Chains A and B, each alone.
Chain A
Amino acid sequence: MVFLKTAWHALKKRWHTLTDTRYFWPIFLMAGLAFCVAVDTFGFVDLYLQLILIYLGINIILTVSLNLINGYMGEFSVGHAGFMAVGAYVASLLTVHGLPAGVSVNFFFPLAILVGGVAAALVGFLVAIPSFKTRGDYLAIVTLAFCMIVKSVLENIDAVGGPRGLLGMEKLTTLPWVFFWTVLSLWVIRNLVYSNFGRGILSIREDEIASDLMSVNSRQVKIIAFVVSSFFAGIAGGLFAHALQFINPRMFDILKSTDVLIMVYLGGIASISGSIIGASIYTILLEILRPLGVWRMVLMPLMLVLLMIFRPHGIMGMREARLFTPLRDLATEKLWRQKKEGAPDATP
């Protein structure tokens, strides 16, 4: 046992010296992108598996962006599917009806996704406003209402197909694009969390009154959190629409939000690595358990119940893998050691 433990620690140390270099992420990400492009071009991974990977990426984007609100900021939003719907519809309308003449749809696609994200971010800005006054359960009701409003508005606009939905999108969501947007969302949200604004977001979770009294502009912080979160939900919506090539309002109801909530609380609140783990387990397990049919919908919630009993914060709740901690945050530790060694004697 002792031997195993030392071996494990040695391995962990090796791993950390590898990941703590500034070259680790660039090389790893380049390799990942190269792999995705290769899969997309030569198709040596079968299409079913590719589709699962695409959904996995989309789910990671959704999970990490909802984690910003529910995990880091400690609010309870159930409106994530609403933001996703806005992104999905805007991006789809652009590629189906808004394609400028003479432009290849392949080039237009990233722009359409981006506009979908921006549209969702604008809606997120509006939803942030009631969050100034309401908290906890009340904000959950507000976001629930928001989700229902989006759904019924979409159902009643004939131009977007009403309840029948929208089709005619080309299959533009490819593995490299999903990889790109997933990495971008993780990177942006990590950077945000490990900044002044991120600390503001965390302080709102801990004690909103105290944070206001410590000069945190809580309105500004909430707006930033909601805008960033809904932006990426919109991006995920756009990617989802162009992977499935068909959307209707029913896809974006409260159940979709629940899926994302499960992934957040499964992986762990307030954790980037947790978001990835949660989304991966949920997406892959649902596929593996497919042969079980209806029983899979009994097994998954059962797993969740057990998790809540034994690990209420989720697998990686309130913790972060060193891999996802910015190097400069690790440098803080070094600064602290230096100060301790060379610190002049302080008065009481």
Chain B
Amino acid sequence: MQGLRSGMPSAIEVHGLGKRFGPVRAVDDLSFEVAQGRVTGFLGPNGSGKTTTLRMLLGLVSISEGTATIGGKRYADLEHPIRHVGAALEATSFHPTRRAEDHLKSVALAGGVPLSRVTETLETVGLTDVARRRVGKFSLGMRQRLQLATALLGDPDILILDEPANGLDPQGIQWLRSFIRNQAALGHAVLVSSHLLAEVEETVDDIVIISEGKLVLQTTLADLASQAGSGTGMRIRTPEITRLAEALNAVPVAWRQIAPDTLVIDGATPEWFGPFAAEHRIVLYELVQEKGSLEDVFLQLTTGFDAPRPVDPAPGGPA
């Protein structure tokens, strides 16, 4: 199947995916695609089902309904899966007394990957100096890097990263961004989850937004940005608010008053409003162009839901 937008083949396909934990429907009829050579942001508030979806995709959590495939195959059916898919799920899954190098060696041996990759990936993530250190002594940021090294070990075409920015310092986040962009530049598909759009805004090409385990929107970042742009408006402060209101009522624009001396005109530009105000000889104290941010759109799309709710309105609330 071809990707919807990019024209490149889909690396990951999710169709009608569902997961029930008892009465809780954590993921519900979810469908989306991840294209090869692009970075897809998998976004949703905490508890919206992102991690469950990724774990179903990776065969760690059983699927209640639907399918989740990688290159057309279920994860468990891949021969030496870590050569195809690299996954970094959580920063805690290391044995504390094991050295970073030994951790990677054990994964390489079990996964059918040459041991030379251990040194290479340690270098890629910048952990060469601490290769012989026990992971128990690692900071959260170093663990995240070691997770990434683990994911990269099999030199996979597809990377799945669950909240990789958690615990990283600003420098680390900057490094992570360029790392992800590099992966896409190499032609790899990257699916990266986050509960903050701002965190991945500079990195992703495509966006999948879920809320309450359901798909809200699959789109490109460019489309989302233009949606955000449509929220553009002018904020105007004037001592002659009544006259301005009368003048605006005569033209087809939407506006609203937000303070005794201030109003906002939707979709207006300074190029239009400047001459308009001059024509009506209205005195202005302040004229500001307002841009709706991507984060506003994101919040608008996902607002109000923090956790999946029971299918039945049973007493007890969310589990």
Whether A and B are associated in the same complex: the answer reads no
Query: Which residues does B use to contact A, with CB under 8 Å?
Result: none
